[in-house]
Amino acid sequence: MVRFFRLLSIALTLLISVQLHAAISSQVDRNAVEQGQTFLLVLNLTQSDSRQVDLSPLEKDFEIIGRSHQSSTSIINGELESSTKLIITLAPKRSGKLEVPALTLNGEKSQPHSIEVKPVKQLSAVDGGVELLSTLSDSSPMVQQPIIYQMNLVLGQRIYNASFQEPTIKQGKALIQPLGEQRQYRQTLNGREMLVVEQSWLITPQQSGSLSIEGAKLSAEIRNLNAGIDPFRRMNDPRAMRRIFLSADSYTVEVAPIPETFTGQNWLAASELQLKSELSSQQWKVGEPITRTITLKAKGIGQDQLAELVLPTVENIKQYAAKPVYEQDQKDNELSVTMTQEVTIIPSQQGEMVLPEVKLAWWNTKTNKEEVARLPQQVINVAPSAEHAQTVTVAPVEALPVTAPSAPVNRVGNSQPNAVSENGSTLAAVQPLSAWLMVAMVVVAALCGSGGTMLYYKRAGLEPRKGKAKLEAQQVDLKPCLDALQRACKKNDPQLARDALLAWGQLVFPGCTHLNHLQQALPLSMSDMITELNRCCYDRAPSVWQGDQLWQAIKGYQPSFVSQGTNTLATLVPN
């Protein structure tokens, strides 16, 4: 019997020792709370870092309000032992019977605990409470048709330590992004003034089928009016505050697929769509730029759903499209967008030119039918450039009369220096033999010149540049733009100068689609001139712009392909 009691005492000692040295254990300060109240979960840790404890299992049914640490050190049987208490403040997210799950540390688990959360009736905003409302702009969207989820937080009293959780997708596939900034305004209902906080999100379905949207959530603290605490201590006493959790309505919608009958190249679904085009001038001349402004207005879609317009190519016309500019707006829970694209057009040949019709197929979500927006065909008459017109108006040179066969000829075969016609005019008499001799001399001189040039390159160890033709072609392309820029600068016309400068920049710097790109590529002094040009073009107040400084700067600027060509060519006649 003595031996039995001895074995039992040893077993109890070992069991107590194991409990004392367990890696983790837990306890709660109470097992029943009201919704909005908090309780404490205490974790006892031995010889472990509290940061190693994974608290994520708690977040399913509880919100972690705060945490603190208490450390202690003791000497047992000559051994130094340390322990840590991790104190976690938890707030239940819903009412009912909840379970605090077991937490794991170094392969050991703490004890689970049951918590009974009693429901508390939430007051409406009119009665001095807090409400979280939501609306959805469309309950039957199509693929890639954005819908607006709008949340309104109505405050009948002040809240503290608030945090929002945006709506999430529980089923299906969609993109969610905030739409605009959060705004606040005051509203009066039943004689009570309330603060309304409004926030919207843009949800764009990426596939057809069922789309489940879980509503936005709010976690905050409000004053506990039933706490019975001195009002002067209410903010410092934990019992004076109560935690609330609110959820806005959730939605499930059916996303319709793209109709098989749609014929457009890019899928575009909208409630309204308009397409129009304007030209900066109806007076077209060869080499002078014209700005074509294309504007697309649509409702029920955002800028992410719009693709850049692809304009058909036109023979003898160069087109340089700038980067589109988007303006997106939200009004009455509906999204609208305006896309503006500028295209610089430079005709290279006079005569009648045709700008082809532009079509854009889209799906009308109101009528559930396909429609086509059109830019009608335009016929343009291009006049010759100013330089060409001056060349054509020069008076023609009179043809010389044929020499009379009876003109006297001297013995050596040369005609007399001057021959006088019947009306007294002096004519140069040229004999056929002399003309053939002159042609032969020109041909011989040309051959000798070519041979001399080749001989010089051979002796100098050089070869003529193979890219000379390409260089000349690039210089020819720049000439109309430079001529147009010179005319605009002389007229001090900032709008024409801007168009011509953009066309020049797109040739000199491939990939340049906007004057902002050109500013980054040019020296700082020229960048400042472009900034001033832009200001004069877009400033609402009229201002005077002088273009001579800009023209001199561009005229003296050497593009990379021109400067490289100049450096690699040796002079034909060395000094």
CATH number belonging to domain 21-118: 2.60.40
Tally of residues, the chain: 575
CB 237 within 8 Å of CB 229: yes
CA 537, CA 495: separation in Å to the nearest integer? 6
Pick the more confident residue, 519 or 155.
155
- Parallel, antiparallel, or unpaired: how do β-strands 96-100 and 104-105 relate? unpaired
Say which DSSP state 445 is in. H
Topology of domain 130-255, CATH: Immunoglobulin-like (2.60.40)
Tokens of 101: 């799950």
What the block records as the tokens of 507 is 């040739």
Is residue 221 predicted with pLDDT exceeding 80?
Answer: yes
Strand 174-189 with 192-205, pairing: antiparallel
Given this model, what pLDDT does residue 16 score?
43
Report the pLDDT averaged over residues 308-324.
Answer: 88
Q: Do domains 21-118 and 130-255 have the same CATH topology?
A: yes
Per-domain boundaries in the chain: 21-118, 130-255, 269-386, 468-568
- Crossing angle of helices 494-508 and 468-491, rounded to 10°: 170
> What are the E-state strand segments in 351-486?
351-355, 358-364, 369-375, 378-383, 419-420, 426-427
Q: What is the pLDDT of residues 431-459, one digit of tens each?
A: 444 444 554 554 445 555 555 545 444 44
Beta strand segments in 348-445, E: 351-355, 358-364, 369-375, 378-383, 419-420, 426-427
Sheet holding 79-92, edge to edge: 24-28, 39-46, 79-92, 62-76
Is pLDDT at 323 greater than 50 in this prediction?
yes
Question: 269-386 has which CATH code?
Answer: 2.60.40
- Reply yes or no on whether the pLDDT at 375 is more than 70: yes
Closest CA to 219 of 169, 136, 153: 153
The alpha carbon of 233 is separated from its chain's Cα centroid by a whole number of angstroms, namely 52
pLDDT, residue 252, reads: 95
Q: Return the pLDDT at 72.
A: 75
Q: What is the pLDDT of residue 256?
A: 95
Answer whether residue 515 shows pLDDT above 90: no
